[in-house]
């Protein structure tokens, strides 16, 4: 464990993630792209809890316990990795869960496949809402919290993606792991690249990298947004970082101009795939045996590949791609993938 890591004022957390995830080479992908590519295997943080969400939930569920909560409430898309991880982590912690899921037609919700099936298995109460109602998701979660209180329960509301100041500590911890990983490798200009869907992972990595002095070692952070746009995420990430710095009196802050958000790869929209994105997902699997997902990592990897085709030096001499999980969301895309196999 790095000395710097031990000095950071981490809040209490639960032990849920199989942390210390490996950093692995992608030799054939590196050869094709003409730049060294390593992959941080945060898809290996656990089987049912796999991905980046569990790192955030370690801190969020500890806070829920500290506040005496008995039910956690959160929201996401119909195949939300975050909602699945929340439901399963809550069950492990002895808490009930409620998830608010966005879909095209709440009166005819999608079948229980992938993450939806796992939500149900974990015992989560599911409330379906329409895409227009998604704009009111925070108010809807408060309605769910009121229902829990009316029944004598004690709710704890987790924002989408677990992306707030508390949850983002999970990716400060990941930044510390990456600092240790990179310290064992030859020094060279490096960019940590990852998918950004709600901003918490980006906030934790950006602030963590600065706290750990990674920019001085030639290491920077770049988020590929898979929804919304650059301006939106600069606001969200900046706000989360500012909240963390203020709440824990951290000796670093992130200015908006320091954030690298690689825009232009949302494609058809959140959780909607284009053939070119799925081809990239397929090719990565066939080259190096790494399974990406169509919502987050596949879209972000495709954006990274496209940027490199335009500018080979866009990310420096080495890329560390953070695999944030999502394999359960792959199965509902089987029909779209079939013609490419």
Residues noted as catalytic: 80
First to last CA, the chain: 43
- Output the CA–CA distances (angstroms, integers) from residue 186 to 8, 33, 189, 218, 312, in the order listed: 26, 20, 10, 11, 20
DSSP line for 278-293: HHHHHHHHHHH-----
Distances (CA, A) of 227 to 105, 198, 199, 261: 20, 9, 11, 12
Q: Would the CA dihedral through 141, 142, 147, 148 be positive or negative?
A: positive
Structure tokens at 55: 């790192």
Strand order in the sheet with 96-103: 125-130, 96-103, 71-77, 155-157
Q: Which two tokens stand for residue 276?
A: 């070119």
């Amino acid at each position: 464990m790095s000395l710097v890591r031990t000095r950071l004022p981490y809040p209490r957390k639960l032990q849920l993630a199989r942390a210390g995830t490996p950093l692995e080479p992608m030799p054939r992908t590196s050869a094709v792209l003409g730049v060294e590519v390593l992959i941080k295997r945060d898809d290996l943080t656990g089987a049912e809890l796999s991905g980046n969400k569990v790192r955030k939930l370690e801190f969020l569920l500890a806070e829920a316990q500290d506040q005496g909560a008995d039910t956690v409430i959160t929201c996401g898309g119909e195949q939300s990795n975050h909602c699945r991880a929340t439901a399963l982590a809550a069950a492990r912690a002895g808490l009930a869960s409620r998830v608010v899921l966005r879909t095209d037609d709440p009166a005819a919700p999608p079948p229980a496949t992938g993450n939806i099936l796992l939500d149900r298995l974990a015992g989560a109460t599911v409330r379906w809402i329409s895409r227009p109602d998604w704009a009111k998701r925070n108010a809807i979660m408060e309605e769910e919290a009121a229902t829990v209180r009316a029944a004598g329960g004690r709710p704890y509301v987790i924002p989408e993606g677990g992306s707030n100041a508390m949850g983002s500590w999970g990716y400060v911890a990941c930044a510390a792991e990456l600092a240790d990983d990179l310290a064992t490798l030859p020094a060279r200009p490096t960019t940590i690249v990852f998918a950004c869907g709600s901003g918490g992972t980006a906030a934790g990595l950006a602030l963590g990298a600065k706290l750990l002095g990674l920019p001085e070692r030639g290491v920077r952070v770049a988020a590929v947004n898979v929804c919304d746009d650059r301006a939106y995420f600069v606001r969200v990430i900046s706000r989360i970082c500012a909240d963390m710095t203020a709440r824990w009196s951290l000796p670093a802050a992130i200015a908006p101009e320091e954030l690298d958000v690689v825009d232009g790869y949302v494609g058809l929209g959140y959780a909607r795939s284009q053939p070119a994105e799925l081809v990239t997902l397929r090719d990565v699997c066939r080259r190096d045996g790494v399974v990406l997902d169509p919502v987050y990592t596949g879209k972000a990897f495709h954006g990274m590949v496209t940027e490199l085709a335009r500018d080979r030096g866009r990310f420096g001499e080495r890329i560390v791609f953070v695999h944030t999980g999502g394999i359960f969301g792959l199965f509902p895309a089987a029909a779209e993938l079939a013609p490419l196999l």
